[in-house]
Amino acid sequence: MADRCRKSHAEVARRRRSELLDLAREAALADRLPDADRYGELAWRLTTRYELEASDELKQRVCRSCKAYLVPDRTARVRIQGGSVTTVCEACGRERRIPLDER
């Protein structure tokens, strides 16, 4: 029974995380960056509290160090260098590198 409750809680948390990331995106587009940061932080906390696997969008859009919502050219620098895409958080300076596919 506890396992069933845990699965349903995780499913609700996944839906809520998706909604929070959508709200963060809308807030960032409306130039409400503090709200976007808060939504991103809440999405990250849901992921860790319910031990969910972090989605690709969460990894790319929320800084792991300071939990700021990353918007290219506003709160993050994005560069392509050395065969990878480097995203640097403007708030704390943390770098995230994603390798490009070799073709």
Q: Going residue by residue through the chain, which has 103 residues, state the pLDDT in tens, using 9 for 90 and above.
A: 567 788 899 999 999 999 999 999 999 999 999 999 999 999 999 999 999 999 999 999 999 999 999 999 999 999 999 899 999 999 999 999 999 986 4
3-class secondary structure per residue, 48-74: HHCCCCCCHHHHHHECCCCCCECCECC
Domain count, the chain: 1
Sheet holding 95-99, edge to edge: 76-81, 84-89, 95-99
- Report pTM: 0.88
Tokens encoding 86: 């480097």
State the residue range of the domain holding 81.
Answer: 2-99
At 10, the amino acid letter reads A
